Structure 1
Amino acid sequence: MTFPTKPNIFILCTGNSCRSHMAEGILSAAAGDLIIVHSAGTKPAGYVHPKAIRVLQEIGIDISNHVSKNMDTFLTQDIATVITVCGNADQACPVFPGKVNHYHWGFEDPAHAVGSEEEVLVEFRRVRHQIRLVFEAYAAGLREGAGGKS
Structure 2
Amino acid sequence: MNVLFLCTGNSCRSLISEALFNHLAPAGWRALSAGSQPTGKLNERALALLQRKGIPTEGYYSKSWEGLPVTPDIVVTVCASAAGETCPAYLGPVLRTHWGVEDPSHVTGTDDEIAAAFERAYAILRARIEAFLALPLDALQGDRAAFKAALDRIGTIATVVA
Normalising by the smaller structure, the TM-score range is: 0.7 to 0.9
**Which of 73, 77, 84 matches 1:80?**
73
Q: Secondary structure at the match of 1:43?
A: coil
For 2:120 and 2:26, the matched residues in 1 are separated by 23
What is the RMSD of the two structures over their aligned residues, measured on CA atoms? 1.8
Q: Provide TM-score, normalisation by structure 2.
A: 0.77
Q: Runs ≥4 in structure 1, deviation > 6 angstroms?
A: none
Q: Secondary structure at the match of 1:39?
A: strand
The CA deviation at 1:25 is 1.0
Identity %: 35
Structure with bigger RCO (C-alpha 8 Å, 6+ apart): 1
Unpaired segments of 5 or more residues in structure 1?
A: 1-6
TM-superposed CA distance for 1:59, in Å, is 1.7
2:25 pairs with 1:31 = yes
CA distance in 1: counterparts of 2:116 and 2:76, whole angstroms = 25
Question: C-alpha offsets along residues 106-131 of structure 1, whole Å, 9 cap, x if unaligned?
Answer: 00000001112222111101111111
Q: Structure 2 regions of 5+ residues with no counterpart?
A: 140-162
**1:64 Cα deviation (Å)?**
4.6
Aligned residues: 138
* In 1: Cα distance, 2:94 partner to 2:134 partner: 20
Q: Check if 1:16 corresponds to 2:26.
A: no
